[in-house]
Amino acid sequence: MQKYSRIFDNDKASPIYFIVPGFLGNYSEDFIGRLYVFLIENNFNVRGVTFRGHENNETELASLFEMVANVESEYVLLRKDYPERRIIILAHSQGCAVALKAANCFDEKTSFILFSPVVYIDRVILPRIKEDDLRLIESGAAVVCKISRYKSRIINLDWILSYRNFLLEESLPRVKQECLIVRPREDWIEKENIDILCQKLAHQTYLEVSGDHIFAVPEAAFENLVKKIFL
């Protein structure tokens, strides 16, 4: 059994929620951590993907293309185990881009809920790398870089190139599944990330709710969100 997998029932009418986390943390903190606990405590069926380097005790980060391959392989295994069940992809922030890039392997019994989605992830993540560190990385070195307020990880050229070459926008018209786009009103992510999804996705519904990027502010943002989506 996967570390973050809990299937509570065999009811074919009951969906399985397939979680794709955002940048760092996996299930240990912030929005995805709270969402996972909420789903488990309320007996929802859950399968959670994890990414190399995102746990607090890990050092070297997986590239975006490794993350996409991880999502695809986990989804294929889940679909093999549960061929008739609905699967709902729950993705947050960067995880939305990763999940959408993997959409070619998802079938018609699969849909998306995209929380605080980021499409142009190169513009969000790469500016965090200092110029001196970037020069070292481009020369072939693997460098410990501070990539969030409190966390540092080992970055190499494959990782940098995966962000430069990800190009999600051109893949969006090929996403045929139903997509619910959830944007918090106080999100710091530029609205262009939402606009391109609304323009390019064939089957999308847009929902704007209270909250910041991780639904921590205002105080009741997370509770109101899960009531609206899941209860």
Domain housing 210: 5-120+168-230
pLDDT digits (tens, 9 = 90+) for 62-71: 999 999 999 9
Residue 25 confidence (pLDDT): 66
- Domains identified in the chain, total number: 1
Residue 142 confidence (pLDDT): 94
- Asked if residue 133 is part of any domain, the answer here is no
Over range 168-188, report the average pLDDT.
Answer: 97
- Asked if residue 9 is part of any domain, the answer here is yes
pLDDT of residue 1 exceeding 50, the answer is no
| Count of CB atoms situated within 10 Å of the CB of 144 | 12
**CATH number, domain containing residue 75:** 3.40.50.1820
Over range 166-185, report the average pLDDT.
Answer: 96
- Asked if residue 154 is part of any domain, the answer here is no
- Asked if residue 199 is part of any domain, the answer here is yes
- Asked if residue 44 is part of any domain, the answer here is yes
The pTM (predicted TM-score) of the whole model is 0.95
Give Cα separations from 17 to 22, 43, 196 (angstroms).
Answer: 16, 11, 25
Residue 26 confidence (pLDDT): 73
- Asked if residue 162 is part of any domain, the answer here is no
- Asked if residue 153 is part of any domain, the answer here is no
pLDDT digits (tens, 9 = 90+) for 39-62: 999 999 999 999 988 877 778 899
pLDDT digits (tens, 9 = 90+) for 21-34: 998 867 877 899 99
- Asked if residue 151 is part of any domain, the answer here is no
